[in-house]
Structures are given as structure tokens and as C-alpha cells.
């Protein structure tokens, strides 16, 4: 069903974005991998048989250039997966204002702009799938993550609004909201916290990161890739505007 569809995946040089790009490529989707890390992007795109486009999604012109590249090469965009993001931990009074601006631009403004720029292509085909890689922090908050939580809550609002507008045109829009995912970034966080608290990495996962979760297990990026692919399938044609939690029961109570 997805064969010959055209997908843009941001944050695709590593972690979750890379796994999603790999999963699509195996399904014979024409994948355009977008990231700021050109060296890794080129290497990974060659490995999985995808196209790549270096871009700084915190800049409006780069968002436009990415979509223009996809439309120029394939004349359409069927799937958009917004993954690119970062996290900075700091109390509000110490949070750098320029860091706030950057994080909101990257994780909220860029998904809006990319959605806007692919919208007409999807409307013309009467088919489109937009998946926003959100977070458990799009549903709940944690201390010291004001920019990240604000961006992710905003992304939830964008998801729901776009779903309402897209339904009549065959466009579905959904958010995936995972808790901690086993990526190099999270592995580094585990190591740092283990050192600072003087406890084992396993205790960091169970007692700090996943304290509120019923399932004390980090999510594998390949699981998120499979859910993403499902949301693009015919079986998910009536799923739109959802905030699909993958949180091990974090929000169940």
C-alpha cells in the first residue's frame, strides 16, 4: 500500500527518525531524510537507499527549501513525519531566551511550516499522512523542561487542528507520544544521572526516568517506526487527531 509513496522524515540522521526512514525504505517508500548533520545523513541515506537533504529546520527558508526539493524531485509529498527536536533541562529563571526561541522554532514552528507547505500536494491527491513525533510531555509536564513541554503541548494543538481541517481532503494527522526511547541521547542522560546520583544505570531507568510508568522499560525506536507505518496504512484511515501514547502506563493513573 505504501509502495511508491513519497515521505519526508525530519531528524532522520539518527535515533527515532532514522528508524522510521529505514522502515519506510523497506516498504518501498521514496524517503527524503532531512537533518542538519550532513555527514551522517549522507552515510545513512546511502545505506538504506533513500534521498537526503541537509536543512536547519529552525529557519523558515530551510523548511520551504526541503518541501520544494521533494516536490521538485517527485511532484508530490504523501507522508510527512516531524521528528527533529532537542531537549534542554533548566529552571525557568535560568533558561536562556535564545535557546527557548530555537527550541520553539525547531519543534513547533517547523512542523507547522512543513505541514503548510505539503498541504496542497496532499489535498490535490485527496490523500496524506502527517505524523508528529510528540512526547509524553505533550500530555503531562515535568519540572525544568519549560521549552520542551511548551513545544510538545503546542504540537498536540497543531495535530488536532490540522486533523479537523484535513479530514475532508483525505489527510490524517496524528501525534505519537512516547515516554523515554532508547536513543544515544537518552543513553547519555542515563550515564550522566547515574554518575550524579551515585546509582546504577538500571536504577536511573526504573526509579528516576520511568518512576511514573507501570512498564519499566525504555522504548525501542523500531517500535515507534512500526506505529508510524501503521498510521500511514489503510487500517488507520479513520485515526486522526489522536495523541497516541506509548508511555508504559505513565498517564493511566
Average pLDDT for the chain: 96
Q: Tell me the mean pLDDT in the region 236-250.
A: 96
- Given the residues 52, 117, 144, 148, the one annotated as active site: 148
Q: Residue 189's pLDDT is what?
A: 83
**C-alpha cell, 231:** 498510521
148 is known as an active-site residue = yes
CA distances from 114 to 17, 18, 66, 146 (A): 16, 19, 8, 24
d(CA 196, CA 186): 15
Structural domains in the chain plus CATH codes:
6-181+219-246 (3.40.50.720), 182-218 (no CATH)
Q: Tell me the mean pLDDT in the region 224-235.
A: 97
**C-alpha cell, 251:** 498517564
pTM of the shown model: 0.95
d(CA 37, CA 40): 6
Q: Is residue 93 very low, low, confident or very high in pLDDT (cuts 50, 70, 90)? A: very high
Amino acid at each position: 500500500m505504501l509502495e511508491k509513496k513519497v515521505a519526508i522524515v525530519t531528524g532522520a540522521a539518527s535515533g527515532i527518525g532514522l528508524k522510521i526512514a529505514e522502515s519506510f525504505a523497506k516498504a518501498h517508500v521514496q524517503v527524503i531524510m532531512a537533518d542538519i548533520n550532513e555527514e551522517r545523513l549522507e552515510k545513512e541515506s546511502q545505506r538504506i537507499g533513500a534521498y537526503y537533504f541537509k536543512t536547519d529546520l529552525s529557519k523558515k527558508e530551510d523548511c520551504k527549501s526541503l518541501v520544494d526539493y521533494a516536490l521538485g524531485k517527485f511532484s508530490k509529498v504523501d507522508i510527512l513525519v516531524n521528528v527533529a527536536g532537542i531537549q534542554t533541562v533548566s529552571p525557568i529563571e535560568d533558561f536562556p531566551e535564545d535557546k527557548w526561541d530555537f527550541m520553539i522554532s525547531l519543534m513547533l514552528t517547523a512542523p507547522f511550516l512543513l505541514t503548510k507547505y505539503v498541504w496542497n500536494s496532499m489535498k490535490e491527491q485527496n490523500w496524506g499522512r502527517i505524523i508528529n513525533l510528540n512526547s509524553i510531555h505533550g500530555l503531562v509536564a515535568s519540572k525544568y523542561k519549560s521549552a520542551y513541554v511548551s513545544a510538545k503541548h503546542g504540537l498536540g494543538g497543531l495535530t488536532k487542528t490540522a486533523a479537523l481541517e484535513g479530514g475532508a481532503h483525505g489527510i490524517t494527522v496524528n501525534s505519537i507520544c512516547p515516554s523515554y526511547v532508547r536513543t544515544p541521547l537518552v543513553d547519555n542522560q542515563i550515564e550522566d544521572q547515574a554518575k550524579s546520583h551515585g546509582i546504577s544505570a538500571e536504577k536511573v531507568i526504573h526509579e528516576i526516568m520511568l518512576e511514573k510508568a507501570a512498564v519499566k522499560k525504555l522504548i525501542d525506536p523500531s517500535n515507534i517506526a512500526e506505529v508510524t507505518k501503521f498510521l500511514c496504512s489503510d487500517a488507520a484511515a479513520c485515526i486522526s487527531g489522536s495523541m497516541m501514547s506509548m508511555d508504559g502506563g505513565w498517564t493511566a493513573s
